[in-house]
Amino acid sequence: MITIGIGNTGMLLATMFNDDPLLFSTAKEDTLNFNGKKSVQVFSKEGASKRYKVGAGIWDDNIDKVRKSLSEIRNKKVILFSSLGGGSGSSSLYPFSSILIENNCEVLIFAILPYKKEINPPLSNAVQALNSLMPIISKVSVMIFDNEKLMKMYDHDWGSINAHIIKRADYVINLLQKYNDDAYSPLTLDQSELNSVIFGGGFIDLSDTFIEEKVPKFEYGALDKTTKNCLVAMYVDSSVNDNKLDIYHNIFTENLGRIAGRVKNARLIPGILRAKVNRSNAEQTKVVDRAYITIASGLSIDKYLAKISKIRDSAISKAKTFNKEYKGKTIIRERSSEILDI
């Protein structure tokens, strides 16, 4: 699996996720943050001025160089980190994804929305970046993190925010390899099944809702008849014996039926994983030895578009004000002007 980071934020997250990522920069200052620590491929020294259009121009001018840089990445699974608010990262998503698709790669993008007070151009960049992906949204998977919500959750602590993003990305990618032990399971999951969901195309999200009480809750999307892929895993503490595990298997099957009714046109992939359960997220019952993880891809695009539309409207309103030309009023009269002409 290949990890790519583009732009300052993307490169930072990629290096937090993987010890040997591919990093792409368009600004001298961003490059200096990582040179000496990691190898950075530089496509410009001037940067994109935090503007999508400028960034798109840089990638367009260097598209052959980009294609050459990605030429050996073929038939691979690729995860790509980028901010949606910056100029170089936001504008890179379509050209990079398109080339990787041409190379028969499967692509999963972890994209970070700017918070509201970043205003323009970050808000405008985010809208343009997501809009650029719409023609290929069925061929790439996109998981969005909203800095507006994360800033409130972690009280503006960027270290905690970045750690949250990496933890969620790690769950999605390494659910079986890192968060599952060798204890017995009556309903196993394999890596190919997980990959078929997270690289299944469209918007993807993860939920840890305790499904015995509620339907899985996602950041934007919802499980419905348009959902393409849905993986539901019940975590059972490794200390639970086989007899009790059979009881939990029955509980899982019963609750799985309710989810199946919501995603009636999706591929539904159930499994029971074993690990140390630290919390269940149950609100109404005192459950301590089982929990749930739901990963869905191809989530209904409508709710994502509604969110994007709100950002678009805000960006347009601010851009109109920014672009409005003001004619200054004369602040001194002619007689005063004569006096001031010393």
Q: What is the pLDDT of residues 86-129, one digit of tens each?
A: 888 889 999 999 999 999 999 999 999 887 765 667 777 888 88
Those residues whose C-beta lies under 8 Å from the C-beta of residue 288, and which sit 6 or more positions away, are: 237, 277, 280
Q: What is the mean pLDDT of residues 310-323?
A: 61
The three-point CA angle 132-110-115 to 5° equals 80
Predicted TM-score (pTM) of this structure:
0.85
| Strand partners of residue 234 | 272, 292
- Average pLDDT of the residues of the chain: 86
Pick 42 or 277 by higher pLDDT. Answer: 277
Return d(Cα 340, Cα 329) in angstroms, integer.
17
Which pLDDT value is given to residue 317?
65
| Listed range (51-65, 164-178, 223-237, 315-329) with the worst mean pLDDT | 315-329
79-to-130, 193, 215, 227 alpha-carbon distances in Å: 17, 17, 28, 22
Q: What is the mean pLDDT of residues 195-203?
A: 94
Which pLDDT value is given to residue 198?
95
Q: Element (H or E) spanning 291, and its range?
A: strand 290-297
134 pLDDT higher than 80: yes
* CATH H superfamily, domain 2-173: Tubulin/FtsZ, GTPase domain (3.40.50.1440)
Q: Where are the domains of the chain?
A: 2-173, 202-301
Which pLDDT value is given to residue 85?
85
Q: What percentage of the chain carries pLDDT values higher than 90? A: 57
pLDDT tens figures, 229-260: 999 999 999 999 999 999 999 999 999 999 99
Please give the full DSSP string across 109-166, using - where no structure is assigned.
EEEEEPPGGG-TTHHHHHHHHHHHHGGGTTTEEEEEEEHHHHHHHTTT-HHHHHHHHH
Could you tell me the fold of the domain covering 202-301? 60s Ribosomal Protein L30; Chain: A; (3.30.1330)
Reference 140, options 198, 191, 219; nearest CA is 198
Which pLDDT value is given to residue 321?
59
